[in-house]
Amino acid sequence: MNIRKQDNVFIISNLKSKYPVLQLDLRLISDLLVIVSATCGGIAFACLGQPVITGYLLAGSIIGPGGFSFVNEMVQVETVAQFGVIFLLFALGLEFSTAKANIVCHLHCWMIFSASK
């Protein structure tokens, strides 16, 4: 394992041995499982006419520590969560338009004006 148990951070090498040893790292397979399951969840919800983000969240809940615990190391969960927030903001930015912003602005101004009476 490349995670130190005391403070739950990644380390570069095994500190106990003075010779480098090739170790099998299954984290790549679990990361691919995260990506594949999120994609399948998103596609399934898109086919059902639901928002894709709902499929991503459901897939993350199922394979995360709260579900079947395929991904159970907190460092890995935090890293995937940070990427998820970045992709979520990117997707929201793609869907945002100035026409919608103008409608929201006019509605907001109307609500402030009517509330002040």
**Terminal alpha carbon distance of the chain:** 65
Q: Which two tokens stand for residue 60?
A: 């993350």
Answer whether 0.85 is exceeded by the pTM: no
Q: Which two tokens stand for residue 46?
A: 């898109």
| 48-81 pLDDT tens trace | 999 888 888 888 888 888 888 777 777 777 887 8
- Given a cut of 80, whether residue 47 has pLDDT beyond it is yes
The values of phi and psi at residue 9, to 5°, are -125, 160
Q: What is the pLDDT of residue 42?
A: 86
